């Protein structure tokens, strides 16, 4: 891949606001440090799943896989969880219990999805590359799983809340037309396209294989119950597949990829549509206090 190969994350930053991309990537402007709490937690469950999948054979006993997962989680928590990231020791204890319950549920020996994800894993942290309409893309897939019909690529997340769905797929076209601002769902579309097409270039892909892609929310459903000894946290995770959306919205998604990729490679960083981006993107932007486009809107009138 050439230097023009772009990731879904970069494309999505451009879709959020071209000027934000300019500051973050083109100019490399530093921003104030943010809390590492959820980033560290993401590292913990990603590395736990990766290590368990890499250590698991096809015929491993489910209980052995589950025990391996819990030992791995405990080690990763100790490695990556910093007490200073939390408001108190009790807060850190609860967060540990919540994340541990998520891993325990995922690798439940009695039907947890993680058992088959580990047994059938072909590659973790798999870098994929592809072209879409001549635009080069790349990404890193969390897990590629062999299925009866082909391959299923998974991106593990804390939750799938707000992730692209069949009920919100229509917003992709509205974003493309400048009638709505939906960068998070557009990012999901970029990820789906990159992983579905990219995995087809991997050596384990065979012609005619069915290729699927899903986001998997490990903490999609969380409940808290007080007990005589303290509390108990229950967690359930489940996937949201976006393969069908990619197939149904292929023309729109490809147009979104072309627009973002061409804007980035063409150094087109003017925020358009300006009013919509100002309303939707500016309030949470790391660069809002230095952005001339936001501070001097009269220049554009």
What is the tens place of the pLDDT at every residue in 228-287?
887 888 999 999 999 999 999 999 999 999 999 999 999 999 999 999 999 999 998 989
The distance from CA 77 to its chain's CA centroid, rounded to whole angstroms, is 21
Rounded to 10°, the helix 37-55/89-106 angle is: 30
pLDDT value at 226 more than 50: yes
User: What pLDDT is recorded for position 52?
Assistant: 98
Average pLDDT over residues 193-202: 98
At which residue do the structure tokens 């005619």 appear?
208
Q: What's the rounded Cα separation, in Å, for the pair 268 and 262?
A: 8
Q: By C-alpha distance, which of 134, 139, 116, 251 is closest to 196? A: 139
User: What pLDDT is recorded for position 86?
Assistant: 83
Q: What's the rounded Cα separation, in Å, for the pair 16 and 281?
A: 7
Q: What's the rounded Cα separation, in Å, for the pair 211 and 228?
A: 48
- Please give the helix or strand (H or E) that residue 187 lies within, else none: helix 183-198
Give the alpha-carbon dihedral of 189, 194, 196, 201, to 10 degrees: 170
Low-confidence winner among 20-34, 161-175, 210-224 (lowest mean pLDDT)? 20-34
User: What pLDDT is recorded for position 298?
Assistant: 46
Instruction: Quickly state the pLDDT bin for 85 (edges 50, 70, 90).
Output: confident
Mean pLDDT of the chain, nearest integer: 93
Is 53 within 8 Å of 121 (Cβ atoms)? yes
User: What pLDDT is recorded for position 26?
Assistant: 93
Q: What's the rounded Cα separation, in Å, for the pair 57 and 152?
A: 18
Q: By C-alpha distance, which of 239, 242, 237, 218 is closest to 168? A: 242
Q: Helix or strand or coil: residue 176?
A: helix
Residues 6+ apart with CB under 8 A from 295: none
pLDDT digits (tens, 9 = 90+) for 33-82: 555 667 888 999 999 999 999 999 999 999 999 999 999 999 999 999 98
Beta strands in the chain (DSSP E): 121-132, 135-146, 150-157, 210-227, 230-241
User: What pLDDT is recorded for position 169?
Assistant: 97
Report the DSSP beta bridge partners of residue 221.
236
- Strand 210-227 with 150-157, pairing: parallel
Q: Helix or strand or coil: residue 229?
A: coil
Percent pLDDT > 90 in the chain is 81
Is 120 within 8 Å of 147 (Cβ atoms)? yes
Low-confidence winner among 177-186, 193-202, 221-230, 281-290 (lowest mean pLDDT)? 221-230
Percent pLDDT > 70 in the chain is 95
Low-confidence winner among 109-118, 178-187, 268-277, 288-297 (lowest mean pLDDT)? 288-297
Average pLDDT over residues 104-121: 98
Is 20 within 8 Å of 260 (Cβ atoms)? no
Low-confidence winner among 82-96, 105-119, 132-146, 150-164 (lowest mean pLDDT)? 82-96
Q: What's the rounded Cα separation, in Å, for the pair 170 and 278?
A: 22
């Amino acid at each position: 891949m050439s230097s023009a190969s772009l990731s879904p994350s970069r494309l999505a930053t451009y879709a959020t606001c071209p000027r934000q991309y300019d500051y973050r990537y083109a100019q490399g402007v530093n921003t104030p440090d943010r809390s590492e709490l959820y980033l560290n937690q993401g590292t913990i469950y990603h590395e736990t799943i990766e290590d368990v999948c890499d250590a698991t054979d096809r015929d491993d006993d489910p209980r052995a896989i589950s025990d391996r997962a819990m030992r791995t989680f405990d080690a990763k928590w100790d490695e990556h969880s910093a007490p200073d990231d939390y408001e108190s020791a009790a807060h850190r204890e609860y967060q540990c219990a919540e994340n541990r319950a998520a891993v325990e549920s995922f690798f439940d020996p009695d039907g947890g999805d993680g058992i088959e994800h580990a047994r059938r894993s072909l590659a973790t942290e798999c870098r994929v590359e592809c072209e879409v309409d001549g635009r080069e893309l790349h990404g890193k897939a969390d897990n590629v799983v062999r299925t009866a019909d082909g391959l299923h690529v998974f991106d593990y997340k804390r939750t799938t809340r707000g992730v692209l769905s069949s009920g919100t797929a229509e917003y992709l076209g509205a974003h493309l037309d400048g009638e709505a601002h939906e960068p998070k769902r557009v990012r999901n579309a970029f990820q789906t396209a990159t992983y579905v097409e990219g995995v087809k270039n991997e050596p384990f892909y065979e012609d005619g294989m069915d290729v699927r892609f899903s986001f998997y929310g490990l903490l999609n459903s969380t409940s808290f119950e007080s007990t005589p000894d303290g509390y108990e946290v229950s967690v359930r995770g489940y996937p949201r597949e976006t393969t069908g959306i990619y197939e149904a919205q292929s023309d729109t998604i490809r147009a979104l990829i072309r627009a973002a990729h061409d804007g980035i490679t063409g150094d087109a960083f003017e925020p358009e549509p300006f009013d919509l981006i100002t309303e939707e993107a500016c309030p949470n932007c790391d660069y809002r206090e230095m952005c001339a486009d936001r501070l001097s809107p009269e220049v554009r009138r």
